């Protein structure tokens, strides 16, 4: 038996991968991941066995990785961003624990990575300086009615809202529904930031408003940050005040 470790490789650039994550990949004999994420770490894969599969094949990919670790190969499963945030950490751990104890590989833990929401926020300025909620708009694994309810509650609570998986070619109406829900609680001029491919060579940043943001180009590589009632834009930067102005005049 060997260990299987789940690694968050960061938002895309090797410069944003933690040293701990990089060392774990370099030590591994087997690296498993979605094809797109495998390409992001390709410079680190020389001489390694690679288990790469497409989207919607997560269970098969993780099962193969767990099996290789059980056979004695040091194995890592890579996820973009942080593997514990919409990543593979939960699935891998479930598959390991489903095995009889005598057939389990060691679980090497989850190595944290810079999540997409952190990367996008850094591009936009400082939009997450107060309480925020993170919601995925993909209803492949979560009923849309539940997603809508969570969006509504975040709107009522005046949370800054970060949206993962905001729009795909087939799923174009969900984000329009989010806009409709939040307009019940927020000014149409509320700032919205859209970051696509954060930290990657084709990174793109757009600042818009709650009234108009769905007119922008948004895809599955985008992360959308919708401000709260206090969020503002100044000189191209999106800022959500933490409240220091309540303690000191002039802020």
pTM above 0.85, yes or no: yes
Separation between Cα atoms, residue 222 and residue 193, nearest integer Å: 10
β-pairing verdict for 125-126 and 237-239: parallel
Sites in the chain below the pLDDT cut of 50: none
With vertex at residue 195, the alpha carbon angle to CA 239 and CA 207, rounded to the nearest 5 degrees, is 50
| Per-residue model confidence (pLDDT) at position 247 | 60
| Per-residue model confidence (pLDDT) at position 12 | 86
Question: For the chain, which residues make up each domain, given as ranges?
Answer: 3-114, 117-239
| Per-residue model confidence (pLDDT) at position 1 | 84
Which class does domain 117-239 fall in?
Answer: alpha beta
| Per-residue model confidence (pLDDT) at position 170 | 86
Helices marked H in the chain? 19-27, 35-40, 58-70, 89-98, 116-124, 144-156, 174-182
Residues 6+ apart with CB under 8 A from 134: 85, 117, 161, 162, 164
Residues 6+ apart with CB under 8 A from 235: none
**pLDDT, mean over the chain:** 94
Separation between Cα atoms, residue 73 and residue 120, nearest integer Å: 35
| Per-residue model confidence (pLDDT) at position 95 | 97
Separation between Cα atoms, residue 241 and residue 133, nearest integer Å: 16
CATH superfamily of 3-114: Tetrapyrrole methylase, N-terminal domain (3.40.1010.10)
Tokens 């891998």 found at: 92
Name the token pair of 229.
């009632």
């Amino acid at each position: 038996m060997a260990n299987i470790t789940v690694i968050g490789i960061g938002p895309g650039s090797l410069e944003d991968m933690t040293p701990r994550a990089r060392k774990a990949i370099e030590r591994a004999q087997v690296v498993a991941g979605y094809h797109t994420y495998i390409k992001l770490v390709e410079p680190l894969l020389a001489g390694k066995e690679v288990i790469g599969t497409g989207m919607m094949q997560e269970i098969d990919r993780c099962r193969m990785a767990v099996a290789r670790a059980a056979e004695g190969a040091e194995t890592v499963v890579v996820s973009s961003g942080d593997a514990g945030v919409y990543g593979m950490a939960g699935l891998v751990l479930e598959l390991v624990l489903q095995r009889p104890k005598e057939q389990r590989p060691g679980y090497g833990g989850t190595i944290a990575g810079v999540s997409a929401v952190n990367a996008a926020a850094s591009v936009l300025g400082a939009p997450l300086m107060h309480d925020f909620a993170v919601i995925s708009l993909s209803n492949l694994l979560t009923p849309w009615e539940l997603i809508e309810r969570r969006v509504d509650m975040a709107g009522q609570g005046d949370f800054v809202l970060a949206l993962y998986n905001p729009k795909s070619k087939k799923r174009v109406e969900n984000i329009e529904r989010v806009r409709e829900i939040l307009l019940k609680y927020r000014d149409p001029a509320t700032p919205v930031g859209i970051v696509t491919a954060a930290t990657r060579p084709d990174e793109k940043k757009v600042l818009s408003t709650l009234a108009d943001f769905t007119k922008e180009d948004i895809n599955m590589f985008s992360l959308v940050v919708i401000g709260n009632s206090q969020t503002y834009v100044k000189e191209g930067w999106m800022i959500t005040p933490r409240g220091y102005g309540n303690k000191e005049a002039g802020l």
